[in-house]
Chains A and B, each alone.
Chain A
Amino acid sequence: MTTRLRITHEGLLRGGTALFALAVPAVLGGMVWELYRASAMARQTFGWHFLVRQDWDPVAGEFGALPFIFGTVVSSALAVLIAAPLGVMTAIYLAELAPARWRRPLSFTVELLAAVPSVVYGLWGMYVFAPWLRRWVQAPLGAGLGFIPFFHGPAYGIGMLAGGFILAIMILPTIAAISRDVIAAVPASQREAMLALGGTRSEVISRVVLPFGRSGIIGGIILGLGRALGETMAVTMVIGNAPRISASLFSPASTMASVIANEFAEATTRIYVSALMEIGLLLLGVSLLVNILARLLVRRLGVNAQ
Chain B
Amino acid sequence: MGQLSAGKRLVMVLVLSAALITAGCAGGKESARPGSGTGTGEPQKVVLNGAGASFPFPIYSLWFTEYNKLHPNIQINYQSIGSGGGQKAIIEKTVDFGASDAPMTDERLKEAPGKLLHIPTVMGAVVLTYNLPGVGTGLRLTPEVIAGVYLGKIKKWNDPAMTRENPGAKLPGKDIVVVHRSDGSGTTNIFTAYLSAVSPEWKSRVGSGTSVGWPTGVGAKGNEGVTTQVQQTEGAIGYVELAYAVENKLGYALVKNRAGKFVEPSIDSVTAAAGAAQNIPEDYRIMIVDQPGDNAYPISGFTWLLIYAQQSDLAKGRALLELLQWALTDGENMVSRLLYAPLPANVQDMVQKTLKTVTYQGQPILK
Residues of A within 8 A of B (CB): 55-60, 126-127, 130-131, 134, 154, 156-159, 236-237, 240-243, 252, 254, 258, 261-270, 272-273
Contact = CB atoms under 8 A, between A and B. Distances in A.
A261 B182 CA distance: 10
A64 B23 CA distance: 46
Chain A contact residues: helix, strand, loop or mixed: loop
A111 B22 CA distance: 40
Contacts of B301: none
A265 B183 contact: yes
A130 B179 CA distance: 15
A59 B208 CA distance: 6
Contacts of A258: 182
Interface string B191-230: 0100000000000001111111110011111000100110
Nearest to A236: B221
A241 B83 contact: no
A254 B228 CA distance: 19
A126 B218 CA distance: 13
Contact of A266 (B192, B210, B220, B229): B210
Contacts of A263: 183-184, 211
Given A156-B177, A269-B105, A269-B108, A241 B184 contact: no
B81 A265 contact: yes
Contacts of A237: 221, 225
Contacts of B209: 58-59, 268
B85 interface: yes
B213 A58 contact: yes
B107 interface: yes
B82 A265 contact: yes
A57 B213 contact: yes
Given A156-B177, A268-B105, A262 B213 contact: no
A209 to B, nearest CB: 44
Contacts of A157: 232-233
Contacts of B104: 268
B175 interface: yes
B184 to A, nearest CB: 3
A245 B230 CA distance: 23
A242 B217 contact: yes
Contacts of A272: 84
Contacts of B101: 266
Contact of B207 (A59, A131, A154, A242): A59
B100 A241 contact: no
B54 interface: yes
A130 B211 CA distance: 25
A157 B87 CA distance: 37
B355 interface: no
Contact of A242 (B54, B105, B210, B219): B219
Nearest to B208: A59
A242 B183 contact: no
B84 A158 contact: no
Given A126-B225, A267-B84, 9 more contacts: A57-B212, A59-B192, A127-B228, A157-B233, A236-B221, A241-B182, A241-B218, A268-B104, A272-B84
Interface of B: 54, 81-85, 87-88, 100-102, 104-105, 107-108, 111, 175, 177, 182-186, 192, 206-214, 217-221, 225, 228-229, 232-233
30 contacts: A57-B212, A59-B207, A59-B209, A59-B212, A126-B225, A127-B232, A154-B175, A156-B177, A156-B218, A156-B233, A236-B182, A237-B225, A240-B218, A241-B220, A242-B218, A252-B217, A261-B183, A264-B84, A264-B184, A265-B54, A265-B85, A266-B185, A266-B186, A266-B211, A267-B211, A268-B83, A268-B84, A268-B105, A268-B209, A270-B107
B84 A243 contact: no
A243 B217 CA distance: 11
Contacts of B213: 55-60, 243
Contacts of A252: 217-219
A130 B82 contact: no
A227 B94 CA distance: 35
Given A241-B219, A273-B84, A266 B183 contact: yes
A269 B107 contact: yes
A268 B185 CA distance: 11
Nearest to B85: A265
Interface centre among A156, A159, A264, A265 (most CB of B within 10 A): A265
Q: Enumerate the 4 nearest inter-chain pairs by beta-carbon distance, A residue then B residue, closest first.
A: A266-B184, A265-B82, A241-B219, A241-B182
Nearest to B184: A266
Contact of B83 (A158, A242, A266): A266
Nearest to B183: A262
Contacts of A268: 83-84, 87, 100, 102, 104-105, 108, 184, 209-210
B266 to A, nearest CB: 26
A217 B345 CA distance: 70
A242 B221 CA distance: 12
A131 to B, nearest CB: 5
B84 A265 contact: yes
Interface centre among B87, B192, B208 (most CB of A within 10 A): B87
A57 B213 CA distance: 5
A262 B212 CA distance: 12
Contacts of A267: 84, 184, 210-211
Contacts of A154: 175, 177
A242 B84 CA distance: 21
Contacts of A59: 192, 206-209, 212-213
Nearest to A271: B107
A159 B100 CA distance: 31
Nearest to A243: B213
Contact of A262 (B206, B208, B221): B221
Contacts of B212: 57-59
Contacts of B87: 268
A56 B212 CA distance: 8
A262 B184 CA distance: 6
Nearest to B188: A266
